[in-house]
Structure 1
Amino acid sequence: MTWLVTTLRHYPEIAIFLSLGIGYWIGGKSYKGFSLGAVTATLLVAIAIGQMNITVSPNVKSVFFLIFLFAVGYGVGPQFVRGLAKDGLPQALFAVVQAVLSLGAAVLVAKIAGYDLGSAAGLFAGSQTISASMGLASDAINRLSLPAEQAKALLNAMPTAYAVSYIFGTVGSAVILATLGPRLLRIDLVAACKEYEATLGGTKELGGAGQAWHRYELRAFRVLADAPACGKTVSEVEALQPNNTRLFIERVRRGGTISEATLDTTLQADDVVAIAGPRDQLVSVLGGGGPNGDDGGDSAVAVRRARVVEVDDPELLAVPAEGVDVYVTSKAVDGKTLQELATMPLARGVFLRKIKRGPTETQIPIMPSTKLHRGDTITIVGRTQDTTAAAKSLGVLDRATNVTDVAFVTLAITAGALVGAVVINVAGIPITLSTAGGALIGGLVFGWLRAIHPTFGRIPEPTVWFMNSVGLNVFIAVIGLTAGPGFVSGLQNLGIGLFVWGIVATSLPLILGMLIARYVFHFHPAILLGVCAGSRTTTAALGMVCDAAKSQIPGLGYTVTYAVGNTLLTIWGMVIVMILA
């Protein structure tokens, strides 16, 4: 044991990884639906290991916290901007109101209970379940020019107050929103969600990754001897399709040879052709048999007309295909309708799935008369060679990759941190975002720019998760290791009163927020509790609300409010110190 203590003191990096390993393991366990989560578990483990008086450079904490905040901003940047558009403006405004209520409750409780700055900041972070705010609170305390011992005592008190108040902050907020909320507001969640879902009819996008059903398919058909396609070229056969039908012959098997189909390829009897197109068109034009496999119905008529039979040919269908985003920059396609573009060579074998336009990434309906403009981001589906060729004619291809644009990440964090480092003195009071706040704002700006101009700065989702989760938890581990020695004495001094005050700081703004959302903002009952959960950034509460509603509809009110709430509640860590100081 002596050797272990000495080793951890000499190599504090081992203590950090040990805290993370045990913290993530414990945080992943749950009992009757309740889990500490990785953040709280890592903090408690680090505090326990910190009893060995382990010293960690504060620079480690700062580096990982900047990474975390940038990842948060990058992830919610597009949603944050969309929240300022007209459709999300009421939700964004409510998130501001909820954030102010959360800050006000914590300030009120701290003043009544007489807590110091560190305890107040920790109480706010724990009761509002916003651990990231402790980073900005720490920066703010360090800028107060306090004696070193006093500043250290305040910083050590912060994780103590956080750990004690976080438990009810997580469980209590979920219970208040999911259980008390419907009764208090007299809402029938299940009925409200069914009614709201009915008003959305047809807006849900079907197909794509993670779903068994796909809108676009590649299927193999054998050409019969008396088929109209026999003796005709591929271009002639594709021209025989009914109006508004887009089916393309991609490959041909003749005997034992497979070749790529070209427009001048002539089809013969017994050729097996790979045909790509929307599933409904493949069924209606080439599908075989009626609903029970008989020879009746419209599909059977189509088969007799086309004279093709579907076959299983895995080798023929082994075609590289993908769905990719393309940022439109070509002057040649600017202002052209989709109907006009469909006749151009670039459109052959390519299917349009989505169009996003403008700073708010507004989805544009896909109709024959819809015009494509420079600056649009479109999602196209097809063979890799077809999507590549189309992208070359349309603009810039943004193909998914597992490689992170590290140069972008580091320079963006640098730019944000430099802006945050600027200090403006107002009446002798230093006002600054701090490097941490600057990194958060930098993430918001660059995340939004990446969404509307996807030609740079790709960060794969797993990387964003890693930066977000590990960045925060390394920061939390260093806090716990540093504060470990003072945790026990701090808990003895603050006692059960801190837990009780944490209940007040959690419950008061949530109850007021629900009433304001219902009677001032008049949100639809189906999304109201989701809006409240997002404003408080409590995912556990959203899960319980969706369970109670037997629907995922409440989640529609979560994203915009989460983006705004997560940003403001994090910044409030600095603001609460400034107010109470």
Structure 2
Amino acid sequence: MEWIINQLRVHPELAIFLTLFAGFWLGKLKIGKFSLGTVTSVLLVGVLVGQLNITVDGPMKAVFFLLFLFAVGYKVGPQFFRGLKKDGLPQVGFAVLMCIVSLVAPWILAKIMGYNVGEAAGLLAGSQTISAVIGVAEDTINQLGISDAQKASYINAIPVAYAVTYIFGTAGSAWLLASIGPKMLGGLEKVKADCRELEEKMGSSQEDEPGFSPALRPVVFRAYKIANEWFGKGKTVKELEDYLSRNNKRLFVERVRQNGVVKKQNPTLLLQPNDEIVLSGRREFVIGEEDWIGPEVIDAQLLDFPAETLPVMVTHHTFAGENIATIRAQRFMHGVSIRSIKRSGINVPVLSKTVVDSGDILELTGLPHEVETAAKQMGYVDRPTNQTDMIFVGLGILIGGLIGALTIHLGGVPISLSTSGGALIAGLVFGWLRSKHPTFGGIPEPSLWVLNNVGLNMFIAVVGLAAGPSFVTGFKEVGFSLFIVGALATAIPLICGLLMARYLFKFHPALALGCTAGARTTTAALGAIQDAVESDTPALGYTVTYAIGNTLLIIWGVVIVLLM
């Protein structure tokens, strides 16, 4: 054991990987529905390992933090700038006001309790569950005209306050928004009814085919032998599809077998009794067609053909700003179904009146030639790849860092975005550019996950290791009272947000809950809300406010230091 400890001191990079391994493992453990989460677990393990007095030198911490911030900006960039348009301004206004409350509440509480700069920054980071504040506040503290010892004292206080307040910041946010939130908006049953009403208005009833969720409503292909007298002496493929659409079933004839010969779909092909056809569409629409078409046929030759699912990025000069119903009505969408919509990494409900934004990723499903045709019309085919455009990433962080390093002095106080704030802004701009010109700047989703999660947690691991020796002393100083203060700092902005959403902005209850969760960037709370109200519609209010919240709350790391 002594040899291992010595090796960790000689090779501190091994201590970092020990912290990551144990932190990620601990973060996956659950007691009921509660878990510490990866970031908090990595921090606490880092503090524990840091008791061995391990020193991590060099710019490693800053490098990974800049990668993390660029990835955050890249992910939300399209929605950040989309929100600045006219139809998104109410949600932007709400997010800005809520973010201001999320800053002011911890600041006032910190002043009342007599906390120092580091404790206030940690309170903000933990209570608002925005881990990036740790790094941004640290950069800002390093620019202050105070002694190195004072800087170290403040910086070491940040993770202590963060660890104490983060637990309620996460679990408390989910509980408040999922349990208390609906009651503040008129009661849980009323909110459920309002969500169902919104779904119907947006086309989620069976009268208007809404699309697919990956597991519950997959696209299926089934074969039937024509036996119904409705076909008489023959009906064309188009006549059958039109008849099905009049009965509110968006189904397509994909293949036909006549006299033992399999033929491709043709709108003018005449269908007659004893012909066998393959229908594609929603499972609940295809099942039961044998009641009037004829018996179902299980035949390998007829059903064994390739179907394709392609991810397509909608661009500003294609169908951005159009709703799903308009897109489905296009001729090139024949035989093609929209399986899912991802916006800033969040799954958005596929409803007929859901408006598609530039940068959205749509999954199209159908026969290869049909999907290929539709994909080219819809936007850029974002085929899966394992290559990240590192020219794009490196240039973005460099430019952002240089801009962020610019400093102005007001009253002797140095003010700047810092290199970390600059990397975030660069990510926003470069992510937006990617949504406008998707032929360059690609970062595959797995790579984005690595930049996001590994970047942040590598930074947090180093923070924990550095704070380890002073963590216990700092924890004793702040005491249990900080947990109560953190709970207040978490609850006040959420309650104010719900009240503003209902009475000032008069949002629909589903949007009110989604906007409040988004402005506080609490994805876990969004899931809890959707489970509580039994609807996915709150996600419609999440993406724009999430983009604004993610940006402002990180920048507040600079502001809280200057305010204190």
Please classify the TM superposition score into its range, dividing by the shorter chain length.
0.7 to 0.9
Q: Does 1:312 align with 2:298?
A: yes
Residues 510-540 of structure 1, C-alpha deviations (whole Å, 9 max, x = no match)? 3444433333333334443443333222344
For the Cα contact (< 8 Å) 2:71–2:452, is it kept in 1? yes
Q: How far, CA to CA, are the matches of 2:336 and 2:445 in structure 1?
A: 25
The alpha-carbon deviation at position 280 of structure 1 amounts to 9.2
Q: Secondary structure at the match of 1:288?
A: helix
Q: How far, CA to CA, are the matches of 2:130 and 2:471 in structure 1?
A: 20
Q: Does 1:417 align with 2:405?
A: no
Alignment equivalent of 1:351, drawn from 326, 336, 349: 336
Q: How far, CA to CA, are the matches of 2:262 and 2:304 in structure 1?
A: 11
The alpha-carbon deviation at position 55 of structure 1 amounts to 1.3
Please name the residue that 1:403 is paired with.
386
Q: How far, CA to CA, are the matches of 2:504 and 2:328 in structure 1?
A: 46
Residues 151-200 of structure 1, C-alpha deviations (whole Å, 9 max, x = no match)? 222211111121122233334444444455556x4731222221342133
Please name the residue that 1:457 is paired with.
441
Tell me the amino acid that sits aligned with residue 314 of structure 1.
Answer: A
The alpha-carbon deviation at position 264 of structure 1 amounts to 12
Alignment equivalent of 2:416, drawn from 410, 429, 432: 432
Please name the residue that 1:213 is paired with.
217
The alpha-carbon deviation at position 212 of structure 1 amounts to 4.6
Q: How far, CA to CA, are the matches of 1:348 and 1:513 in structure 2?
A: 40
Please name the residue that 2:80 is paired with.
80
CA gap of 1:281–1:501, structure 2 versus 1, over 3 A, is: closer
Residues 404-462 of structure 1, C-alpha deviations (whole Å, 9 max, x = no match)? 43333343333433433333455655432222212222222333343454433333333
The alpha-carbon deviation at position 137 of structure 1 amounts to 0.5
Please name the residue that 2:494 is paired with.
510
Instruction: Decide which moves more: 132-141 or 541-550.
Output: 541-550
For the Cα contact (< 8 Å) 1:128–1:169, is it kept in 2? yes
Q: Secondary structure at the match of 1:562?
A: helix
For the Cα contact (< 8 Å) 2:20–2:458, is it kept in 1? yes
Q: How far, CA to CA, are the matches of 2:521 and 2:116 in structure 1?
A: 26
Please name the residue that 2:428 is paired with.
444
Q: How far, CA to CA, are the matches of 1:364 and 1:494 in structure 2?
A: 48
CA gap of 1:219–1:57, structure 2 versus 1, over 3 A, is: same
For the Cα contact (< 8 Å) 2:339–2:365, is it kept in 1? no
CA gap of 1:339–1:129, structure 2 versus 1, over 3 A, is: closer
Residues 90-119 of structure 1, C-alpha deviations (whole Å, 9 max, x = no match)? 232122112111211222223233322222
Tell me the amino acid that sits aligned with residue 405 of structure 2.
Answer: A
Q: How far, CA to CA, are the matches of 2:263 and 2:271 in structure 1?
A: 12
For the Cα contact (< 8 Å) 1:354–1:366, is it kept in 2? no
Please name the residue that 1:295 is paired with.
none
TM-score normalised to structure 2 length: 0.79
Tell me the amino acid that sits aligned with residue 498 of structure 1.
Answer: L
For the Cα contact (< 8 Å) 1:91–1:531, is it kept in 2? yes
Residues 311-340 of structure 1, C-alpha deviations (whole Å, 9 max, x = no match)? 222344332222332768999xxxxx9899
For the Cα contact (< 8 Å) 2:102–2:489, is it kept in 1? yes
For the Cα contact (< 8 Å) 2:210–2:351, is it kept in 1? no
Tell me the amino acid that sits aligned with residue 80 of structure 1.
Answer: F
Instruction: Decide which moves more: 569-578 or 376-385.
Output: 376-385
Q: How far, CA to CA, are the matches of 1:556 and 1:396 in structure 2?
A: 22
Query: Any stretches of 5+ residues in structure 1 without a counterpart?
Result: 290-298, 332-336, 357-361, 368-373
Q: Does 1:528 align with 2:508?
A: no
What is the 5 A alignment of 1:210-289?
A: 210-214=214-218, 217-220=220-223, 238=237, 243=242, 247=252, 250=255, 287-289=289-291
Query: Any stretches of 5+ residues in structure 2 without a counterpart?
Result: 246-250, 319-325, 342-347
What is the 5 A alignment of 1:1-20?
A: 1-20=1-20
Please name the residue that 2:189 is paired with.
190
For the Cα contact (< 8 Å) 1:350–1:380, is it kept in 2? no
Q: How far, CA to CA, are the matches of 2:269 and 2:513 in structure 1?
A: 60
Tell me the amino acid that sits aligned with residue 288 of structure 1.
Answer: E
Residues 109-139 of structure 1, C-alpha deviations (whole Å, 9 max, x = no match)? 2323332222221121112221111111111
For the Cα contact (< 8 Å) 1:46–1:477, is it kept in 2? yes
Q: How far, CA to CA, are the matches of 2:129 and 2:328 in structure 1?
A: 51
For the Cα contact (< 8 Å) 1:398–1:454, is it kept in 2? no
CA gap of 1:265–1:397, structure 2 versus 1, over 3 A, is: farther
From the CA coordinates, give the structure whose radius of gyration is larger.
1
Q: Does 1:488 align with 2:490?
A: no
Q: How far, CA to CA, are the matches of 2:381 and 2:328 in structure 1?
A: 24
CA gap of 1:288–1:437, structure 2 versus 1, over 3 A, is: same
For the Cα contact (< 8 Å) 1:15–1:49, is it kept in 2? yes
Q: How far, CA to CA, are the matches of 1:465 and 1:571 in structure 2?
A: 22
Tell me the amino acid that sits aligned with residue 478 of structure 1.
Answer: V
Q: How far, CA to CA, are the matches of 1:171 and 1:375 in structure 2?
A: 31
Q: How far, CA to CA, are the matches of 2:414 and 2:274 in structure 1?
A: 82
Tell me the amino acid that sits aligned with residue 101 of structure 1.
Answer: V
What is the 5 A alignment of 1:354-365?
A: none
CA gap of 1:500–1:311, structure 2 versus 1, over 3 A, is: closer
Q: Secondary structure at the match of 1:575?
A: helix
Tell me the amino acid that sits aligned with residue 5 of structure 1.
Answer: I
Please name the residue that 1:26 is paired with.
26
Instruction: Decide which moves more: 491-500 or 15-24.
Output: 491-500
Q: Secondary structure at the match of 1:323?
A: strand
Tell me the amino acid that sits aligned with residue 211 of structure 1.
Answer: A
For the Cα contact (< 8 Å) 2:518–2:545, is it kept in 1? yes
For the Cα contact (< 8 Å) 2:196–2:535, is it kept in 1? no
Q: How far, CA to CA, are the matches of 2:387 and 2:164 in structure 1?
A: 38
Q: How far, CA to CA, are the matches of 1:31 and 1:437 in structure 2?
A: 36
CA gap of 1:281–1:104, structure 2 versus 1, over 3 A, is: closer
Please name the residue that 1:498 is paired with.
482
For the Cα contact (< 8 Å) 1:276–1:349, is it kept in 2? no
Query: Aligned pair count?
Result: 536
The percentage of aligned residue pairs carrying the same residue is 45
Please name the residue that 1:519 is paired with.
503
Q: Does 1:383 align with 2:367?
A: yes
Q: Secondary structure at the match of 1:210?
A: coil
Cα RMSD (Å): 4.4
Q: How far, CA to CA, are the matches of 2:360 and 2:125 in structure 1?
A: 40
Q: How far, CA to CA, are the matches of 1:175 and 1:340 in structure 2?
A: 41
Q: Secondary structure at the match of 2:479?
A: helix
CA gap of 1:238–1:419, structure 2 versus 1, over 3 A, is: farther
CA gap of 1:23–1:515, structure 2 versus 1, over 3 A, is: same
Q: How far, CA to CA, are the matches of 2:483 and 2:349 in structure 1?
A: 46
Q: How far, CA to CA, are the matches of 2:506 and 2:275 in structure 1?
A: 63
CA gap of 1:490–1:384, structure 2 versus 1, over 3 A, is: same
For the Cα contact (< 8 Å) 1:20–1:474, is it kept in 2? yes
The alpha-carbon deviation at position 310 of structure 1 amounts to 4.7
Q: How far, CA to CA, are the matches of 2:327 and 2:548 in structure 1?
A: 36
TM-score normalised to structure 1 length: 0.77
Q: How far, CA to CA, are the matches of 2:359 and 2:482 in structure 1?
A: 53
Q: Secondary structure at the match of 1:456?
A: coil
Please name the residue that 2:321 is paired with.
none
For the Cα contact (< 8 Å) 2:309–2:366, is it kept in 1? yes
Q: How far, CA to CA, are the matches of 1:493 and 1:526 in structure 2?
A: 42
What is the 5 A alignment of 1:530-545?
A: 530-545=514-529
Q: Secondary structure at the match of 1:93?
A: helix
Please name the residue that 2:90 is paired with.
90
For the Cα contact (< 8 Å) 1:217–1:279, is it kept in 2? yes
